[in-house]
Structure 1
Amino acid sequence: MPLRLIFMGTPDFAVPTLRALAERGHEIVAVYTREAKPAGRGMKLQPTPVEQEARKLGIPVLTPKTLRTPDAAAEFAAFQADAAVVVAYGMILPQAILDAPKFGCFNLHGSLLPRWRGAAPINRAIMAGDAESGVMVMKMDVGLDTGDVAMTARLPITETMTAVDLHDALAPLGAALMADAMAALERGELSFVKQSEDGVTYAAKIDKAEARIDWSKPAAEVLRHIHGLSPFPGAWCELPLDGEPVRIKLLRCEAARGGGEPGALLGDDLTIACGDGALRVLQLQRAGKQPMSAEQFLRGTPVKPPLRMC
């Protein structure tokens, strides 16, 4: 029989999993997500992507500020769920919540655990130059992404991938994996493997202070930094235009030939020297503007040596 599930998630990354579970015929008795926040020019309250999807599916939505009160635990337990599925919910689950469903709580994590436990596994994998990433279904415990792993799907990371590219590839991959895991749980066939204590790394939340580009580093490292932070918060530098420094986010680049003083423009096509090698900018975003291709930018703002990014 289909499972009674509680779904807990917040951003776009979680939406394909919610949709996949509903399509597999499971009874999703409630969706937990974060509160709506003001957004846009009018600062109107904007429901999370998961809440918007849940409303379309006709599923009751809860947005508690905390799960650590007796009332919150009682409300959660009253759903008498077989399992809870958690995808980028953004709130730590206390023991009372973890223990409430019959079979426990299952998290979809965007890394190959135990590598990149924590908040920003997609960004950190790219920034570190990992050859592959993936998704894992894990039975949750009170630790930070330390639970036993049930299923894994892997995906290569290419040099051209940005964080949003990897995000968009992992989201449907994870949705299918979690749907398969819940089907196995329904059949009583879901098994688990303890995580290794070797190779543990932590994916710390991205700090905006680390977003400034250091052109003195090798081109390969600068490329990973730019792609790992694209599109948010966006790796940035300053370009002097009309005597004033203008902040520019670089969103997509490629390796290029050449070399010179770090940050120096090497031609009129936005090729920039690094500490070792060079990069050509393919996509960027000027402060207050929409993202654009390098060609679009250069049509309106031609730049060439001896200008220097800093």
Structure 2
Amino acid sequence: MRAVFFGTPEIAVPSLEALVQIADVVGVVCQPDRPAGRGLERKPPPVKRRAEELGLTVLQPEKVRTPDFAAWLRERDADIGLVIAYGRILPRGVLEAPRRGCLNLHASILPHYRGAAPITWAVTHGVPETGISLMQMDEGMDTGPVYTVHRIPLGPDETADELAVRLAQLAAEVVREDVPRAMRGEITATPQDHAQATAARILTKEDGRIIWQRPAREVHNHVRGMTSWPGAFTTVDGKLLKILSTQVAHETGSEAAPGTVTAADRFSLRVACASGEIAIVRAQMEGRKALGATELVAGRSLREGQVLGS
């Protein structure tokens, strides 16, 4: 089986490695190098680095809706295209270039969480399970028929970053087990129930802002879902405060106004929510390094009675 792989970030690397085990990978397509770090030096994406280590041909088109790119794909003479977290919507000319079209490994239980950020929104919404869906791609946003769905439970304190690592490994298993079966016709793709679809839109920095006028469990889910991009944040005395890790202290109670620091001592650092309280485990004041709760209290960065987000 000849295959072209589409992917860009770290979550896609295990799937590329798995595809190499079951197919002749005749091309790898990923996003262009982007500026990163303090020096804004252009750095290659993780998939490009791993593909080059494997000796594979890499292409990083600025645009995918060009005749040249479609021609390059046809020249690969591929049986399938395999896509995971590539980062762009593929037009019909690209989807139809491989003989059997393109398959997508989507990080949700379709039709739920269609879109660019399924992991983040699943964690933020506190769903009990998620998974990897192997689907045949069409021109819609994750709307094609689904071959298989592999489910995993989602822990109540698991962050989006931690979940991404587990889903990356699950996706690689799906590549090894289900992609060959789909190509041999041993499994059939089933149309999705579009009436049940939910969206997982792309994130902005503002999505990280904590709304203290929500229950403690929802605030905790927000923090773990926004880890590490775009990052959960609030303000204190007019300065930015990044909330890196939390726990649910109480799900009910607290007479203080939402956002009020109700305890700041060597035992706990708690903040009132609409109902209940969360405990801040780790946070970072603007212009300072990340600290644990005890250090934040000792340094007087946070004090009882302060109101966050005001």
Normalising by structure 2, what TM-score? 0.93
Helix, strand or coil at the partner of 2:100: coil
User: How many residues end up aligned between the 2 structures?
Assistant: 303
Backbone CA RMSD of aligned residues: 1.6
| CA displacement at 1:238 relative to structure 2 | 1.2
Give the whole-Å Cα distance in 2 for the aligned partners of 1:19 and 1:161: 26
Give the corresponding residue for 1:303.
Answer: 302
- Equivalent in 242, 250, 258 of residue 249 of structure 1: 242
Give the whole-Å Cα distance in 2 for the aligned partners of 1:5 and 1:74: 16
Helix, strand or coil at the partner of 1:89: coil
Task: Letter of the 2:258 partner, please give it.
Answer: P
Give the corresponding residue for 2:281.
Answer: 282
Give the whole-Å Cα distance in 1 for the aligned partners of 2:41 and 2:258: 44
Task: Letter of the 1:198 partner, please give it.
Answer: A
Give the corresponding residue for 1:10.
Answer: 8
Give the corresponding residue for 2:269.
Answer: 270
- Equivalent in 192, 204, 209 of residue 206 of structure 2: 209
Task: Letter of the 2:187 partner, please give it.
Answer: L
Unaligned runs of 5+ in 1: none
Alpha carbons of 1:288 and 1:193: their partners in 2 closer, same or farther (altered >3 Å)?
farther
Give the whole-Å Cα distance in 2 for the aligned partners of 1:138 and 1:290: 43
| CA displacement at 1:299 relative to structure 2 | 4.2
Equivalent pair of 1:5/1:26 in contact (CA under 8 Å): yes
Give the corresponding residue for 1:230.
Answer: 227
| CA displacement at 1:187 relative to structure 2 | 3.5
For residues 143-178 of structure 1, what are the alpha-carbon distances to aligned partners after superposition, in whole Å with 9 as ceiling and x for unaligned?
A: 110011111111112220111121111111111112
Give the whole-Å Cα distance in 1 for the aligned partners of 2:182 and 2:104: 14
Alpha carbons of 1:264 and 1:99: their partners in 2 closer, same or farther (altered >3 Å)?
same
Give the whole-Å Cα distance in 1 for the aligned partners of 2:175 and 2:130: 16
Correspondence 1:87 to 2:80: no
- Equivalent in 30, 35, 47 of residue 33 of structure 1: 30
Helix, strand or coil at the partner of 2:164: helix
Give the corresponding residue for 2:39.
Answer: 42
Equivalent pair of 1:162/1:252 in contact (CA under 8 Å): no
Alpha carbons of 1:306 and 1:106: their partners in 2 closer, same or farther (altered >3 Å)?
same
Give the corresponding residue for 1:193.
Answer: 190
Equivalent pair of 2:297/2:303 in contact (CA under 8 Å): no
For residues 174-198 of structure 1, what are the alpha-carbon distances to aligned partners after superposition, in whole Å with 9 as ceiling and x for unaligned?
A: 1111221222135442321111123
Give the whole-Å Cα distance in 2 for the aligned partners of 1:30 and 1:282: 45
Equivalent pair of 2:22/2:176 in contact (CA under 8 Å): no
Give the whole-Å Cα distance in 2 for the aligned partners of 1:298 and 1:105: 53
- Equivalent in 86, 89, 95 of residue 98 of structure 1: 95
Give the corresponding residue for 2:116.
Answer: 119
Q: What percent of counterpart residues are identical? A: 37
Give the whole-Å Cα distance in 1 for the aligned partners of 2:296 and 2:165: 26
Equivalent pair of 1:152/1:177 in contact (CA under 8 Å): no
Task: Letter of the 2:249 partner, please give it.
Answer: A
Normalising by structure 1, what TM-score? 0.93
